[in-house]
């Protein structure tokens, strides 16, 4: 199923993270297109793009498109590639998965990777539309 930019627009809560020095942590929020100034738009090369904000559970901002540029929709996934050496992230890739329950309820989850530093510092993470339960 092809994805459009609006399929990703939501507040996503990170449920799990594995990998080396992950930038996203469990319970972080990834706001895609929901914060003021992050609405979807057509980028310079005509690709659908959207702003985002990564924040800690308490709302403290960690990383944003206002400083570092938007996510770009390419081949059904959102992608961000850093351009400088001053960012904590080098790459972000985000995919959307749809599931349908036995009673035909549709839900979505995000799955992504972040590259931080050298190629060995990759984290894999997943997010849903609600915060993970406290443990």
Q: What percent of the chain has pLDDT over 90?
A: 47
Kind plus residue range of the DSSP H or E element containing 67: helix 65-68
- 54, 58, 60, 66 alpha-carbon torsion, rounded to 10°: 40
Decide: 8 and 78 in contact? Cβ < 8 Å. yes
Give me 53's structure tokens.
Answer: 């904000």
Above 70 in pLDDT, residue 50?
yes
Is the whole model's pTM more than 0.85, yes or no? yes
Query: Picking from 14-18, 29-33, 114-118, which range would have the lowest pLDDT averaged per residue?
Result: 114-118
Q: What pLDDT sits at residue 72?
A: 95
At residue 40 the predicted structure's pLDDT band, cuts being 50, 70 and 90, is very high
Q: What is the mean pLDDT of residues 48-60?
A: 95
């Amino acid at each position: 199923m092809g994805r459009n930019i609006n399929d990703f627009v939501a507040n996503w809560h990170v449920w799990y993270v594995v990998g080396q020095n992950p930038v996203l942590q469990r319970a972080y929020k990834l706001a895609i297109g929901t914060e003021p100034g992050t609405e979807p738009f057509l980028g310079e090369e005509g690709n659908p793009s959207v702003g985002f904000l990564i924040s800690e559970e308490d709302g403290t901002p960690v990383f944003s498109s206002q400083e570092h540029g938007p996510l770009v929709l390419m081949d059904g996934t959102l992608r961000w590639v850093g351009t400088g050496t001053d960012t904590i992230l080098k790459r972000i890739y985000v995919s959307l998965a749809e599931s349908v329950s036995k009673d035909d309820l549709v839900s979505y989850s995000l799955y992504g990777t972040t590259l931080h530093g050298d190629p060995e510092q990759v984290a894999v993470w997943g997010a849903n539309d609600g915060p993970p339960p406290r443990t």
